Amino acid sequence: MGAPRLALLVYKIPREGMDPFIFDFAELGLPFGISRALRRSLEANLGHRSIETQSKAFIALRKLSRCLLELGIIDQFPLSRDVLSTFADWLDKSSLGPSAQVSLTKVRQLLAWCERNTPNIVAKDLSLVVPKIRKLEFGVAKAGIPEPLLKEILRACYDDIERTEKERAQVRRIYSGKTESPEERDFLSLTRDLMIAGKGRFAKQPAYHRAGGALSRRVERFGGSRRIADVAYLSPKDLLPFLVAILAQSSGNPESIKIAESNCVINHPIRDDIERIIWLKKRSSREQRADFPKGKEWSAPNLVRRLNRLTDELRSRAVRNSRNKLFICYRWYTRTVGMPGKEALLQELRAFIERHSLPQFQFRDLRRTGAQVVQAVRGSERDAQDRLNHEEPSTTRRYTATQSVLDREEQVIHAHQVKFVQLAKGVRSFDQEKEAERPDLDIPTQGMETTFGFRCKDPLAGIAPGSIRGSMCVKFFGCSACPGAVIPLDDVSVVARLLSSAEALEEARTRSQVEGWWKRYEAIYEPTRLKIVDELLPAVSAPILERAKPLASPRLIPRLE
């Protein structure tokens, strides 16, 4: 294959101040026509997306070529009708984990474009209907970072941030000419000589070697030019603790937080005691946000301000597409100022973990942990959904539905199934027999009505997380997230109570913002309001809803405070 043909298989993504990012489709080992069509498909489908998104698609194509090679059909032209099903079966038998489904989706997207635009490289009747990979269809979210470890990680971040701020203050003092020792004067002189040797940029080894042996020896005494640059400028190592701490507090998507802008802190639209961090999630083109109380030394908004103070001196020198970004530093490998690359941050994360003797964790574990902590503390899936800025609760469950949660839910479902069968057969359970022998437990067999229209089957059963059997349920006024809540949506009186509750909660919501008790309202009542408005009432049939409306009245609900 000659050079001109090979050039058709190379896809380059230009990067300001850096070498272009290259995808070489020749390395896939597929027939030339298929490789060229896939190259065009990736550019057409994903050319406007981030390098990371395009990289995931190219990695998926590598997996496809490996699949076809192992099956002995890599030279087949055109691709067969069942190539996607073949690939899905191969992925299903692999040990790739959740990335297998992503790879299948990416390959399907690229082949769908080929079918429309280069039909000669795929079978005319190519099947694009591919089921989900079976073993991943009902996946369980990985457990997050334990809370004691998360606190340890944050302490390590704060220690490193304070160290960085002290070092940067010292360097600024030295560059202002206020040196306090011979070592500081030598360092100032050496960095200036390295800038001269590099013709305005920080010189690398070949440049300062050409400048003469004296300069080389001075550089080696300070530990090499890379170490000098890391002291002279803000580096990826200095950014890492800021990134980890902000990710832990915001539960943001790592790839989105990395490209957050420097002016990402804004005031809360309603409350004066709250401020907000905003960032854009490119994949969905949706603004994301996280709220924080003002006045906390180590809150994420204050971390943003502290980082901006460190990067202000670099911003005017940054490459154009990084000037308004939060996470910028001096990049040794290109001798430019801009956002650090993914591999540089991963390398610094590994060094951070080793330096502080921490167990292994990844950036994405911090997002998962935030959702699971919120759901555990507040007992509401909707709170976790808000924390992750998800539109659908099914997306949030990928982060929060750990095996322990699923096991607990299955136990509750099983218990209800047993009671249903016993009721159908007229059999009384052991618990019912015991309750009948205890007149002090004056609990109606149909359960107890709660404030907002939910019916609790037994407020002393200890079903809700944190409750103890025999004591009043800790969530008796927040039953929206309790597995013991009974909500018959075909009961007109129950629906009327729900309508009344929705109106009373909305009135309390407005009042809390005016009267200054929003924080209490948000913690106690808002999850219930969202559950009623977003999930329960939309599920009520139109005839029942019409019959319930005349019976509804906010006066049925006590004044909420």
pLDDT, one tens digit per residue, over 500-540 is: 888 888 888 888 887 787 777 877 788 788 888 877 888 88
433 pLDDT more than 80: no
- Of the given ranges (234-238, 355-359, 414-418), which has the lowest mean pLDDT? 414-418
pLDDT for position 174: 82
pLDDT for position 474: 45
Of 459 and 370, the structure prediction assigns the larger pLDDT to: 370
- Of the given ranges (239-248, 412-421, 504-513), which has the lowest mean pLDDT? 412-421
Of 317 and 460, the structure prediction assigns the larger pLDDT to: 317
What are the sequence ranges of the domains in the chain?
A: 3-136, 141-178+233-392, 444-556
- Please give the share of the chain, as a percent, with pLDDT higher than 70: 75
pLDDT for position 199: 66
Q: Which amino acid is at 354?
A: E
437 pLDDT more than 60: no
- Residue 242 — pLDDT band, cuts 50, 70, 90? very high
**What are the pLDDT digits (tens) for 63-87?**
999 999 998 888 888 888 888 888 9
Of 164 and 558, the structure prediction assigns the larger pLDDT to: 164
pLDDT for position 14: 77
428 pLDDT more than 60: no
- Residue 307 — pLDDT band, cuts 50, 70, 90? very high
CB 288 within 8 A of CB 252: yes
Nearest to 142 by CA among 465, 362, 289, 354: 362
Query: How high is the mean pLDDT of the chain?
Result: 78
pLDDT for position 434: 47
- pTM (predicted TM-score): 0.58
Mean pLDDT for the stretch of residues 483-505? 76
- 49 φ/ψ angles, rounded to the nearest 5 degrees: -95, 175
- Residue 408 — pLDDT band, cuts 50, 70, 90? low
Q: What is the helix (H) or strand (E) element at residue 14, kind and residue range?
A: strand 10-15
194 pLDDT more than 90: no
Q: What is the helix (H) or strand (E) element at residue 336, kind and residue range?
A: strand 336-338
pLDDT for position 416: 56
49 pLDDT more than 90: no
Mean pLDDT for the stretch of residues 545-560? 77
487 pLDDT more than 80: no
Phi-psi region of 144 (alpha: psi -120 to 50; beta: other; left: phi over 0): beta
- End-to-end distance of the chain based on CA atoms, in angstroms? 77
CB 544 within 8 A of CB 493: no
pLDDT for position 453: 53
**What are the pLDDT digits (tens) for 119-159?**
788 887 778 777 677 554 444 556 678 888 999 999 999 99
Tokens 């369980």, located at residue: 140
Mean pLDDT for the stretch of residues 313-336? 87
Neighbours of 401 (CB within 10 A): 19
Tokens 């909500």, located at residue: 487
- Residue 303 — pLDDT band, cuts 50, 70, 90? very high
What are the residues whose beta carbons fall under 8 Å from the beta carbon of 60, sequence distance 6 or more?
102, 103, 104, 106, 107, 110
Of 246 and 194, the structure prediction assigns the larger pLDDT to: 246
Mean pLDDT for the stretch of residues 385-400? 76
**What are the pLDDT digits (tens) for 274-297?**
999 999 876 666 788 899 999 899
310 pLDDT more than 90: yes
Cα–Cα distance measured from residue 41 to residue 24, given in angstroms and rounded to the nearest whole number? 14
pLDDT for position 430: 46
User: Exposure of 177 by Cβ count < 10 A (0-12 exposed, 13-18 middle, 19+ buried)?
Assistant: exposed
Tokens of 319: 């490459």
What are the residues whose beta carbons fall under 8 Å from the beta carbon of 199, sequence distance 6 or more?
207
Neighbours of 540 (CB within 10 A): 19
559 pLDDT more than 50: yes
403 pLDDT more than 50: no
Q: What is the helix (H) or strand (E) element at residue 183, kind and residue range?
A: helix 182-197
pLDDT for position 172: 86
Tokens of 7: 């050039």
**What are the pLDDT digits (tens) for 341-375?**
887 888 899 999 999 999 988 898 888 888 888 77
- Of the given ranges (70-74, 177-181, 277-281, 458-462), which has the lowest mean pLDDT? 458-462
Mean pLDDT for the stretch of residues 151-173? 92
At the topology level, CATH places domain 141-178+233-392 in hpI Integrase; Chain A (1.10.443)
- The β-bridge partners of 448 are 456
pLDDT for position 285: 67
Mean pLDDT for the stretch of residues 244-271? 90
pLDDT for position 443: 38
CB 384 within 8 A of CB 396: yes
- The β-bridge partners of 229 are none
- Of the given ranges (56-60, 172-176, 357-361, 452-456), which has the lowest mean pLDDT? 452-456
Cα–Cα distance measured from residue 77 to residue 26, given in angstroms and rounded to the nearest whole number? 16
Q: What is the helix (H) or strand (E) element at residue 338, kind and residue range?
A: strand 336-338
- 24 φ/ψ angles, rounded to the nearest 5 degrees: -100, 105
- Residue 162 — pLDDT band, cuts 50, 70, 90? very high
Tokens of 393: 């609760």
CB 282 within 8 A of CB 253: no
pLDDT for position 476: 44
Report for 178-187, 189-198, 390-399: range of highest mean pLDDT:
178-187
Tokens of 90: 């191969």
